[in-house]
Amino acid sequence: MSSSSVSSPLSDVIDQLLDQSPLDDFVRCALDFPPQPPGLPPKMALLHVRFQEDVPNTLSLADFLSSQAVNYALSRRRRDAYLAALRSGTNGDLSLTSQISRAVKSAFIQFRTEYPSRASEVGEVLAYCVAVHHLNAAQLVAKMSLKTSANMPVHGLDGIHASVTDGRLNVYFLESKLAKTAASGTADYAESVAGFGSSKKQYMQEYGLVRDLGNLDALATADKELLMEYLDVFAKPNAPRRERSVGVVCYSETKHFSNTIPVDDDGPLDRHERHFGDLYIKDHGRHHKNVRAQLLTHGVDQSKCMLYLVAVPDVNELREQFYESLGILAAPSDSELNESSICEDDQDE
């Protein structure tokens, strides 16, 4: 990075940290956030795994997420160091790539071993991809690298991202959930966002991680100082920034994936995917009503929440395939997601 003492425009600074994540190739957006004027909060988008003709391609999604895990798990400074080392290699030497792969794999293995009940990193990587692709928001801190460091908090947000809109900074607090049903996943999200919103200590701690251990260290000094004008909640608590909670709920949609139509050689190839999407969109009102009630129960400001529901045939299968793609074998401590927290309104799913 340049050591220039003159800062770039705010949007250019964020762009320096923004990754690329071609999520559309693996996850289709059936229904995006509604256009202005907005409807009742919270905003809710419906996403689902893409189809290979008539088959939901969960395996390709798992492979994609495992490849994205490199960018999610490693800090920007560490990634830049690996890139510099690769560029300095001679005669096309790529031996360093095995070291990079081991670093990512060991981070997931270590966290999974020490905290088996929280082995849901596939959801966290998915949330990272959603933030990058759909919100155009850069990762401010690599939470996975901190979770596997001594004395770092395990609990907390699953990600902190930022984007710029019309010169204004947006900060997104990511909460990812894997669930057996949409309603149980949004209920878990509502509980989590309420807990974070009521904890000033955790709020300050998350911003402290961004300030002290985040990806901003990869920026030029002037650019980092510009961002800190907005992100230093200790010295500048009233800095102009918009904070939003983003929930990414990946769940098993057993009903609509089972509602199939015959393969037709004369029809368009995407007819099965669009058939599923049409059924899925009809559930938007019910899902939205559920999460509104759940957020209201916990006293959460719904206008500051944004949700992405991501439908797959089986979240347990996706999780297993993700680990396999990373080269991590199933662990005896792994437990399947169950329906113990299903809400009454979701029983017909």
Instruction: Annotate 126-163 with DSSP letters as a single string.
Output: HHHHHHHHHS--EESS-HHHHHTSTT--SSS-SEEEEE
How far CA 102 is from CA of 62, 163, 223, 266, in Å, comes to 18, 31, 32, 47
Take residue 83 and report the two structure tokens written for it: 């890139």
Q: Beta strand pairing status for 241-252 and 305-312?
A: parallel
pLDDT at position 102 is 84
Angle at 313 between CA 154 and CA 49, to 5 degrees: 80
- With a cut of 50, which residues of the chain have pLDDT below it? 1-4, 150-154, 340-349
pLDDT at position 32 is 96
pLDDT tens column, 299-319:
999 999 999 999 999 999 999
Give just the sign of the alpha carbon dihedral 117, 118, 119, 122: positive
pLDDT at position 348 is 41
pLDDT at position 339 is 56
Whole-angstrom distance, CA of residue 288 vs CA of residue 42: 8
Take residue 46 and report the two structure tokens written for it: 């419906």
pLDDT at position 38 is 66
Radius of gyration of the chain (CA): 20
What are phi and psi for residue 124, nearest 5 degrees? -70, -40
Angle at 44 between CA 40 and CA 48, to 5 degrees: 155
Q: Compute the residue count for the chain.
A: 349
pLDDT at position 2 is 41
pLDDT at position 82 is 87
